[in-house]
């Protein structure tokens, strides 16, 4: 496997960073995950723009242009001979001292990994996912801005541990007010009386690229939608539910906290979104060649 590391393509065994890197020491950095399908990178510029925005929000000045990073991403995929898969870009503050002072880091470091991924077992995509509500809350926006895809994902990991220890694959995370934010790594959507609902970004949800694509598809499919504050009650009484994310794509949910959603099966509107999203990913994107 070839890894892009600070403007060089190197073998996996040679892709190394310093033990003094602030990304390792403090989770000081940002990342993006991007899918590519049928020799096309799905919404490449949108993802890279978000990477730059996350970096800007934490005062991390990238020494590359957006166009350069897009090209680095495509080059990494090509170097690994892949036509379908997942690419992860990680930017760290770089090498510095053992203290917190980020201004001692002279230059950011970036690596890019192109590989394959399957977030959930295949049967859950076909039959639906049972999920739970976890006790771990999303950080308040005043503590850590939810729109920053930072390298500090311990909050999400602790929630994922709760889910797995409870026998589930995924968990709903609430904000400090008790409203639905998102799942451990996915955005959440409901369908009620033919209307699509999703939590507000201001309630702690990441403004996901796949989330945006689903809202665009809703308009194309003539399905009304609304972004609004949601509670667990809204999920319990919904007709259908599904999760979205770059790695997860679109995956149906059939129960929350052992309460069946709708009839406990994958719903017809969810199926329409799955099909429409698949068509979108297979026919659009930045060509790899």
DSSP character at residue 147: T
DSSP character at residue 140: P
Token pair listed for 45: 């510029």
Residues present in the chain in total: 289
Ramachandran region of residue 116, left (φ > 0), alpha (ψ -120 to 50) or beta? Answer: beta
Beta strands at 286-287 and 225-227: parallel, antiparallel or unpaired: unpaired
Token pair listed for 277: 């999203």
The 3-class SS string of 227-279 reads ECCCCHHHHHCCCEEEEEECCCEEEEEEEECCEECCCCCCCHHHHHHHHHHHH
Helix (H) or strand (E) holding 10: strand 8-11
Q: Active site includes 149?
A: yes
Sequence-distant (6+) residues with CB within 8 A of 108 are: 29, 55, 60, 61, 62, 63, 91, 92, 93, 94
Token pair listed for 30: 């940002």
DSSP character at residue 202: G
Q: Identify which of 281, 278, 268, 280 has the alpha carbon closest to the alpha carbon of residue 128.
A: 268
Ramachandran region of residue 273, left (φ > 0), alpha (ψ -120 to 50) or beta? Answer: alpha
Given the residues 2, 13, 149, 192, select the one marked as catalytic: 149
Active site residues: 149
């Amino acid at each position: 496997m070839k890894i892009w590391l600070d403007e060089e393509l190197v073998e996996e065994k040679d892709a190394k960073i310093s033990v003094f890197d602030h990304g390792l020491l403090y989770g000081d950095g940002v990342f993006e995950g991007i899918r590519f399908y049928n020799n096309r990178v799905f919404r490449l510029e949108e993802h890279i723009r978000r990477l730059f925005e996350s970096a800007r929000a934490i005062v991390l000045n990238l020494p590359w242009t957006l166009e350069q990073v897009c090209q680095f991403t495509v080059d990494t995929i090509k170097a690994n001979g892949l036509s379908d898969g997942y690419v992860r870009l990680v930017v760290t503050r770089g090498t510095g001292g053992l203290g917190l002072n980020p201004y001692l880091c002279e230059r950011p470091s970036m690596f890019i990994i192109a590989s394959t991924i399957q977030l959930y077992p295949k049967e859950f995509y076909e039959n639906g996912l049972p999920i739970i509500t976890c006790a771990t809350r999303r950080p308040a926006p005043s503590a850590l801005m939810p729109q920053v895809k930072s390298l500090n994902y311990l909050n999400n990991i602790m929630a994922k541990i709760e889910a797995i220890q409870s026998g589930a694959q995924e968990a709903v995370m609430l904000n400090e007010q008790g409203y639905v934010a998102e799942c451990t790594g996915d955005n959440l959507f409901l369908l009620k009386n033919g209307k699509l609902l999703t939590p507000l970004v201001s309630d702690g949800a990441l403004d996901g690229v796949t989330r945006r694509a689903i809202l665009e598809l809703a308009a194309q499919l003539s399905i009304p939608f609304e972004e609004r504050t949601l509670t667990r009650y809204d999920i319990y009484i919904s007709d259908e539910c599904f999760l979205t994310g770059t790695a997860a794509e679109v995956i149906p949910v059939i129960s929350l906290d052992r309460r069946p959603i709708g009839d406990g099966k994958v719903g017809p509107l969810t199926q329409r979104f799955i099909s429409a999203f698949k068509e979108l990913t297979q026919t659009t994107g930045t060509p790899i060649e």
